[in-house]
Structure 1
Amino acid sequence: MAKALNPTWDLDCFFPGGSESPAFQEFLDDLNKRTETFHERLKKAESPQTEAEAEVYTDLTHELQAIMSRILEGISFTDCLASQNQADRKAVAMGGRVQDISALFQAALSQLDRFLAGIPDDVFISLLKKAPWSDASFYLNERRQLSKEKLSPEMEALASSLAVDGYHGWSKLYDTAVGKINIPFEVDGKLEQLSAGQAFNQLHNPDRETRAELFKLWEAAWAEHADLFADTLNRIAGFRLRLYAQRGWDSVHKEPLAINRMKKETLDTMWDTVEKNKEIFVRFLERKAKLLGVDRLAWHDVDAPIGKADKKISYEDAADLIVDQFHTFSPKMAEFARLALDNRWIEVEDRPGKRPGGFCTPFPLEDQSRIFMTYSGTADNVSTLAHELGHAFHDYVMKGMPHLAKEYAMNVAETASTLAETIVSAATIQAETDKEAKIALLSDKINNAIAMFMNIHARFLFETKFYAEREQGIVSIERLNELMVEAQEKAYCGALSEYHPHFWAAKLHFYATDVPFYNFPYTFGLLFSSGIYKTATEAGAGFEDHYIALLRDTASMTVEDLAAKHLGVDLKKPDFWQRAIDLLRADVEQFLALTE
């Protein structure tokens, strides 16, 4: 019998008392003073012209990393509080205070850019080879190069300050608005008011009539508040575009590519290779439609379970399944997952008032993570749990490293999480002997590939076109719906009978102000992890240490250099991407053969 697990997480080990925590208030007071001091120091700092002059700043990188880790701690704590209870307005207020401190820190970073840019090249190169500068060498060099393409430190600091109640404020407003959404729906014979997160889980219900009914209510709920969401999305994009224009940046992809330490050639090659391989995934959608007894799939059918996938899986059974499958790839990963599960690092309880979606967030001062989701027993929930545990393992293996050597980008972050999903699904499929169960498991795995190649592609196409039109003025609700459906039709190759016009309102990723273009890194993560998985299966025992070494390098080089060093491949060429996609094509071919 599976060991009983507590479905709620432990946050009191960080700051007792939740949003009423005196310890957290003291933490923020200290952090604010520390950040102010750091900012004032950098404002007065003169760029050293020799290595000897740099001796005055030997503690600079230490203090930089200490403040960064504490701000991340504050963000994680307030995000966890606000996510577990969207009615917790004190948590939102404290999150606002963390944002204020973060804005002050961004102003300090603008001064740091000025300081770094003023150091002669030969002196700077020499400093990066010596401790303590060497702890942050990649990050500091990256900042120095990018600062040359930004505004003056004073103007960048002003933009960061205004962003708190402007740019980031709109994002917070979106979170508040989503918390107000309730969808009346009958569950097990009882009418309930479903939160957005609960309703989203019901969209994966195995009963097609239930899905169809709920999807109409889902679309109607977002349409009812579409004016608010359209205003929010337009303002976020407007702020971003005006800042880019002031910097002289002519592409909305410049910032997300820089954040992801990725070249445009790599992104273009990835999408081009995906486009050339969509035909077989369209065949999967067509076959799935036949299995569901419809001519073409509707939007709510795409992720629908097939066959025996409608069986509910308890949280405890899901945990045991994940730990067992992790062990086939990496005993260290399995050991970590059990640690996280047993020590209440995970919030899964299915209750009203929680925000939708799932995430993993680090608490760097304690070298722990926390995972958030709403678990209702679906196969998709199991995948989400494995996914977030992959994120947490990534952080765990970097324990003890300097903070700046752990600041990895989103695309490689999605590598660890997506690989965790792949490990669980691949091992489970291989072990399954029942034909119908194998079909169901394959369908779930392929659904994830469809999401990365089609759903995520639609998001990327939508945002690219939306930003182009937003430069000419406000984009109306009607036009947002049109752009969304056009992107979905193109990304899904016209294979669906019904699309999701208000997806732009329902998907919180469009409103994340810390991460522009919160989409293509997911596809990168799936394919990069598939390439790693392929390498691992060929290497056999002993790859675990190579994988951990790759993860530990993820914040210290570009993705192109990372792939070249650890996998011996060139991401700017299609070979690697095709090899990764071929693994996923094989799943579809197996599914088509089994369902012939």
Structure 2
Amino acid sequence: MTTTTYSDVWDLEVFFKGGSDSSELQEHLNKTEELIKHFEAKVNNWTIANTLEDSKYLKELLADFEGAAKKLFQAGAFVGCLLAQNTEDKKAYSLDAKITSLGAAFQIALGSLDNLLTTFDDEVWEQLMSDEALKELSFVLTESRQKAKEKLSKEEEALISALEVDGYHSWGQLYDLIVSKIKVPFNDQGEEKQLSVGQASNKFSSPDREVRAAIFKNWEKSWGEQADFLAKTLNHLSGFRLNVYKKRGWDDVLKEPLSINRMEKDTLETMWAVISENKQKLISYLERKAKLSGVEKLSWFDLDAPYGKTESKVSYQEGAEFIEQNFALFGEKMAAFAKNAFEKQWIEAEDRPGKAPGGFCTSMPESEQSRIFMTYSGTPSNVSTLAHELGHGFHSFAMRGVPFLNCRYAMNVAETASTFAEMIVADAAVKNAGGEEEKLVLLDDKIQRTVALLMNIHARFLFETSFYEERKQGTVTVEKLNELMLTAQKEAYGDALEEYHPLFWASKLHFFITGVPFYNFPYTFGYLFSLGIYAKALEEGKGYEEKYIALLRDTASMTVEDLAQKHLQVDLTQKDFWEKAVRICLDDIDEFLDLTESK
């Protein structure tokens, strides 16, 4: 047990003093711009001889890339933290726009480099990649070379990157701005309050169904009032994306997200097929939960409701200590990482107005630190979220010393590390329960995440797939968006709910993220993939930590299929692995159904 009292407010001053007014940050941005221009000039001045003599210049370019990339990423992460902690920080919005512009310039230079790599003869390229200093980067460099071959000319791709600043990424920024202005009215014991969307969303975890129903009604109304603006935003964002795909000759909207996630379509389709085949047990859980709640069917606003009538509260300090203790049962390095994050104030968890909704972990590569953002209100689910985000941080910690080019792991494997950490804590909570009722509360919280990842995420995937098909035909209206979402939710939840959330397309940030298209299926992949790793960890015990770190260090330098084959000896394109992973989830439901049979 620690004797230190942990602060629930993060320390950002260690990076740049003064927040969005920081002169240090301005100097950092000026230096970043200078490094990007230097990198760009060096790329443009490279006359390729198409011989092994080119290796020296390529190594110099890669060193320059690393310096510029770390600075750009650090600045972007810092400003992202400023915007999250205070959605009214107008200067931070200006800084965000500046960083987006720098990122676009850097992307153009990278695109030019990738194009240059395509000019090498295959034989010369293979020889270059066998060079000792380039060998460990060969997967990523060859991948970049191949992707460049599938794109437009250097000039056309440069133009797209330049136009993205105001014609693509700005739509995502507009979404953030609209959301920051949304207030959800809530009557708190006679006092009328105006909640931010982050505060309002926490009310869906209330044990009082009347509170959940009331907040949901106002939630729908508040999002509905902005629906026209949000639909316009989504249509333009997706329209830009589709036009780029069309110019490149890409027919399948999944081509880019699958490529980003280094994943085969067969793997994705097999995963969803296995989930669909096993939905009935999830539906049985929802039906049992409805019966226990005294209603015929659950509604959308019941999905995050805790089991039982009493609200279990866990202080931030208690949650932190519980995470530390249980990480220690897995491995010393993971526990030490978490302890350091709490002690050094890497985490922003205070429940206060003006914060952005949701949670995230971001890496500060120059400082070799992470920062975690969430709003902690004391629910068991909050403890899980905290563990989840610490898992992301541990992934970055595990990658220390790996070249930055080999640190750009995709979202699907990023979610693996976070979900693995979450599983450790959730499992421990169930096992340490003081009695049957407490066990049911914690088991229910754990199953809720399974429902979210196998049903909610499936609904997002189904919606986005059908939306993009509609968008190819023209602008999609608010009414049609609602209809598509309702259809997707009914399919994903097996029509087990009484009331759905047709405006979910508006309230879910992930549909508006421009950095990564189809920001949905990687969550489910990461969850089930982590279960496979978790099963392996349970089998091998505490000594598995080093093997786990080795797996994490490989996450950005091979396909997920190769990663699974190398570290787990499984084939992800076959059903076996996915069926075993889903079975682990369903075991929790079996236990819950058994314990509540006579209730």
How high is the TM-score relative to the length of structure 1?
Answer: 0.98
Which one-letter code corresponds to 2:378 in the other structure? G
Q: Give the corresponding residue for 2:262.
A: 261
Distance 1:312 1:123, change over 3 A: same
Q: Which moved more, 1:507-516 or 1:110-119?
A: 110-119
**1:313-332 to 2 correspondences below 5 Å:** 313-332=314-333
**1:94-109 to 2 correspondences below 5 Å:** 94-109=95-110
Q: What displacement does 1:308 show?
A: 6.6
In 2, distance between residues paired with 1:184 and 1:533? 42
Residues 1:543 and 2:557 are matched in the alignment: no
Q: Which moved more, 1:37-46 or 1:521-530?
A: 37-46
For residues 96-141 of structure 1, the C-alpha deviation after alignment (integer angstroms, 9 at most, x for no partner) is: 1111111001110111012100112122122222244234222111
Residues 1:588 and 2:589 are matched in the alignment: yes
Residues 1:430 and 2:428 are matched in the alignment: no
Q: Give the corresponding residue for 2:559.
A: 558
Query: How high is the sequence identity, in percent, across the aligned residues?
Result: 53
Which one-letter code corresponds to 2:237 in the other structure? I
Q: Give the corresponding residue for 1:307.
A: 308
**1:231-250 to 2 correspondences below 5 Å:** 231-250=232-251
Q: What displacement does 1:52 show?
A: 1.8
Q: Give the corresponding residue for 2:140.
A: 139
Q: Give the corresponding residue for 2:535.
A: 534
**SS of the residue 1:165 aligns to:** helix
Q: Give the corresponding residue for 1:441.
A: 442
Which one-letter code corresponds to 2:313 in the other structure? K
In 1, distance between residues paired with 2:308 and 2:436? 10
Q: Give the corresponding residue for 2:186.
A: 185
Q: Is the 8 A contact 2:114 2:148 kept in 1?
A: yes
In 2, distance between residues paired with 1:486 and 1:92? 36
Q: Is the 8 A contact 2:331 2:542 kept in 1?
A: no
Q: Give the corresponding residue for 1:482.
A: 483
For residues 36-62 of structure 1, the C-alpha deviation after alignment (integer angstroms, 9 at most, x for no partner) is: 121122123222311124333331111
Q: What displacement does 1:592 show?
A: 0.3
In 2, distance between residues paired with 1:71 and 1:383? 31
**SS of the residue 1:310 aligns to:** coil
Q: What displacement does 1:190 show?
A: 3.1
In 1, distance between residues paired with 2:74 and 2:558? 24
Q: What displacement does 1:189 show?
A: 4.8
Distance 1:526 1:476, change over 3 A: same
Q: Which moved more, 1:413-422 or 1:541-550?
A: 541-550
Q: Is the 8 A contact 2:35 2:67 kept in 1?
A: no
In 2, distance between residues paired with 1:158 and 1:575? 45
Q: Give the corresponding residue for 1:287.
A: 288
In 2, distance between residues paired with 1:159 and 1:392? 33
Q: Give the corresponding residue for 1:369.
A: 370
Which one-letter code corresponds to 2:150 in the other structure? E
For residues 147-199 of structure 1, the C-alpha deviation after alignment (integer angstroms, 9 at most, x for no partner) is: 11101111111101100111000000000000001112123553221101000
Residues 1:415 and 2:396 are matched in the alignment: no
Residues 1:36 and 2:52 are matched in the alignment: no
Q: Give the corresponding residue for 2:576.
A: 575
Which one-letter code corresponds to 1:256 in the other structure? P
**1:10-409 to 2 correspondences below 5 Å:** 10-187=11-188, 189-307=190-308, 310-409=311-410
Q: Is the 8 A contact 2:227 2:506 kept in 1?
A: yes
In 2, distance between residues paired with 1:524 and 1:58? 35
Q: Give the corresponding residue for 1:525.
A: 526
For residues 316-366 of structure 1, the C-alpha deviation after alignment (integer angstroms, 9 at most, x for no partner) is: 011011111111222211111010011000001111111100000000001
Q: Give the corresponding residue for 2:514.
A: 513
Distance 1:278 1:585, change over 3 A: same
Q: Is the 8 A contact 2:466 2:484 kept in 1?
A: yes
For residues 470-503 of structure 1, the C-alpha deviation after alignment (integer angstroms, 9 at most, x for no partner) is: 0000000000000000000000000000000100
In 2, distance between residues paired with 1:425 and 1:293? 27
For residues 445-470 of structure 1, the C-alpha deviation after alignment (integer angstroms, 9 at most, x for no partner) is: 00000001100000000000000000
Distance 1:201 1:52, change over 3 A: same
**SS of the residue 2:186 aligns to:** strand
**SS of the residue 2:409 aligns to:** coil
**SS of the residue 1:59 aligns to:** helix
**SS of the residue 2:205 aligns to:** coil
Q: Is the 8 A contact 1:7 1:349 kept in 2?
A: yes
Q: Give the corresponding residue for 2:463.
A: 462
**SS of the residue 1:191 aligns to:** strand
In 2, distance between residues paired with 1:161 and 1:146? 19
Q: Is the 8 A contact 1:309 1:379 kept in 2?
A: no
Q: Which moved more, 1:188-197 or 1:94-103?
A: 188-197
Q: What displacement does 1:309 show?
A: 6.4
In 1, distance between residues paired with 2:373 and 2:538? 31
Which 5+ residue runs of structure 1 have no aligned equivalent? none
Q: What displacement does 1:389 show?
A: 0.4
Q: Is the 8 A contact 2:172 2:513 kept in 1?
A: yes
Which 5+ residue runs of structure 2 have no aligned equivalent? none
In 2, distance between residues paired with 1:51 and 1:147? 21
Distance 1:237 1:349, change over 3 A: same
Q: Is the 8 A contact 2:391 2:418 kept in 1?
A: yes
Q: What displacement does 1:583 show?
A: 0.6
CA RMSD of aligned residues (A): 1.2
Q: Is the 8 A contact 1:110 1:154 kept in 2?
A: no
Q: Is the 8 A contact 2:482 2:503 kept in 1?
A: yes
**SS of the residue 2:351 aligns to:** coil
Q: Which moved more, 1:86-95 or 1:183-192?
A: 183-192
Q: Is the 8 A contact 1:325 1:428 kept in 2?
A: no
In 2, distance between residues paired with 1:580 and 1:309? 32
Q: Which moved more, 1:460-469 or 1:7-16?
A: 7-16
**SS of the residue 2:489 aligns to:** helix
In 2, distance between residues paired with 1:326 and 1:187? 38
Q: What displacement does 1:378 show?
A: 1.2
Q: Is the 8 A contact 2:42 2:61 kept in 1?
A: no
For residues 64-97 of structure 1, the C-alpha deviation after alignment (integer angstroms, 9 at most, x for no partner) is: 1221111111110110011111111111101111
Q: Is the 8 A contact 1:454 1:492 kept in 2?
A: yes
**SS of the residue 1:58 aligns to:** helix
Q: Is the 8 A contact 2:331 2:543 kept in 1?
A: no
In 1, distance between residues paired with 2:108 and 2:440? 54
